[in-house]
A and B are shown apart, each in its own frame.
Chain A
């Protein structure tokens, strides 16, 4: 039987900043900043959280379903490191605001930036199990970064300056089922690899700590070992010849370029010129949205996939895509699937690029204010009113779609409201 993605949508937020301006603003060394291949990053507003992001990503998918199809969503997994409660999963809020069938499993998965892949693979397994033939799963990978780096302590990296320009906010929603028009999974073609490493993490609420050097080394170790395991399971798989496109977990483009260079040299013995040409051909389509939103953690590899689907060339027949997912801590996976022209056309209705273009540009002053104001919605906030922020956003945004934003928190319960 077939299994995979029937529809997917990216929500890349409401506001963004230009990262080269941020680099100047923070007086970072900008001489070689271009090599990092970052352009813009989405900034989460105080009245936005991982729940509102997730709902805004999923709604266009759910709206396009018939009532009968929507009622077959029997599994809703949120994949995140930005949860708002240790017990209650964000999937319960998302289920409520999407008005889904109550005969549905609701839960959340965590493993840093690998969470989206973890949720996706669980959904694929659920469909393949045929425990409920014809059922669908909704996987929502959603993360934001309020970005207040943990201060002090000698282990904090000196190179943490990459984190602020590259940390974005965003969500990817995917409908997984037996009619994988958009991305047909190669069943059983999975190389997974994980081990304990302390690279980057969120050891306290609303903040991040870690070491960029260690994380990069671990990413490279995993990229190599996950692919070797994939190749052990998929006879004759070749890094250069088996995949028309490659899609990566993308903390920032420069890191992907480094990983691709290492893999092409090790797995294919390619020369520097061949590697550059191959990068442009097979990898850059996957950077198209990542460069404009930043690292959205759990959903990043799927935002890269969405970019590869939207900007790749499928006019000459189906194309196989290799995907590499990495989550600090760490777990990783190399897997693959097939995309067709019909799938690409089917995705046009979500107009992901057009919606990114509708975000508003923040000034550095507005950005610094948002970082400061975000403290009012810290993890564990019991009561807060955000009516003023909600009204501002509703009047300023330009998207034609209804969006959900946080109105208030009352006795820890979050209350959201749709814009018109």
Chain B
């Protein structure tokens, strides 16, 4: 697992929640909110990402990242310490 792969997983689930993003090419600087995800959508995307990564951690530990790249970095650290 690496950062790029995690960004792809986040993008895949973001497009599931927001079908308008099906053709979007996700990059590190993307912010879910700017892509049209409200707070309920963002929580749903996080849920799906955690399931895909088989990561069992409190969701509140994923609060803070300002874009998809920072979220991927945080998830990678959590995976490495799991």
Q: Does A261 contact B (CB under 8 A)?
A: yes
Digit string of B14-40 for contact with A (CB within 8 Å is 1, else 0)? 000000000000000000010010111
B40 touches A35 (CB 8 A): yes
Instruction: Give the shortest distance, in Å, between B28 (CB) and chain A (any CB).
Output: 19
B60 touches A214 (CB 8 A): yes
Digit string of A16-29 for contact with B (CB within 8 Å is 1, else 0)? 00000000000000
With A32-B38, A213-B63: A258-B58 Cβ-Cβ less than 8 Å: no
Q: Does A217 contact B (CB under 8 A)?
A: yes
A217 touches B44 (CB 8 A): no
Digit string of A215-253 for contact with B (CB within 8 Å is 1, else 0)? 011101100000000000000000000000000000000
* Chain A contact residue count (CB 8 A cutoff): 23
A221 touches B58 (CB 8 A): yes
Bound Cα distance A33, B42 (Å) = 15
B38 touches A217 (CB 8 A): no
A218 touches B40 (CB 8 A): no
Q: Does B62 contact A (CB under 8 A)?
A: yes
Please indicate the chain A residues that have their CB under 8 angstroms from the CB of B39 in the complex. 159, 162, 212-213, 216
A217 touches B43 (CB 8 A): yes
Number of cross-chain contacts by CB at 8 Å: 48
Bound Cα distance A258, B17 (Å) = 12
Please indicate the chain B residues that have their CB under 8 angstroms from the CB of A158 in the complex. 33
With A217-B46, A220-B47: A258-B40 Cβ-Cβ less than 8 Å: yes
A221 touches B43 (CB 8 A): no
Q: Does B59 contact A (CB under 8 A)?
A: yes
With A158-B33, A159-B33, A159-B38: A258-B60 Cβ-Cβ less than 8 Å: no
Please indicate the chain A residues that have their CB under 8 angstroms from the CB of B43 in the complex. 213, 216-217, 220, 258
Please indicate the chain B residues that have their CB under 8 angstroms from the CB of A32 in the complex. 36, 38
Please indicate the chain A residues that have their CB under 8 angstroms from the CB of B44 in the complex. 258, 261-262
Q: Does A36 contact B (CB under 8 A)?
A: yes
Please indicate the chain B residues that have their CB under 8 angstroms from the CB of A122 in the complex. none
Please indicate the chain B residues that have their CB under 8 angstroms from the CB of A257 in the complex. 40
B47 touches A213 (CB 8 A): no
Bound Cα distance A254, B40 (Å) = 7
Please indicate the chain B residues that have their CB under 8 angstroms from the CB of A375 in the complex. none
B40-61 interface (Cβ within 8 A of A): 40, 42-44, 46-47, 58-60
A-B residue pairs in contact (CB < 8 Å), sample of 20: A32-B38, A36-B38, A36-B40, A159-B38, A162-B38, A197-B60, A212-B39, A213-B39, A213-B42, A213-B63, A214-B60, A217-B59, A220-B59, A221-B60, A255-B40, A258-B43, A261-B44, A262-B44, A262-B47, A265-B47
Give 13 new A-B contacts, CB below 8 A, not counting A217-B60, A217-B62: A32-B38, A158-B33, A213-B43, A213-B63, A214-B63, A216-B40, A217-B43, A218-B59, A218-B60, A220-B47, A221-B60, A255-B40, A258-B40
Chain B residues within CB distance 8 Å of chain A: 33, 36, 38-40, 42-44, 46-47, 58-60, 62-63
What 8 A-B pairs come out closest when comparing CB atoms? A217-B59, A212-B39, A214-B63, A216-B43, A258-B40, A159-B39, A217-B60, A221-B58
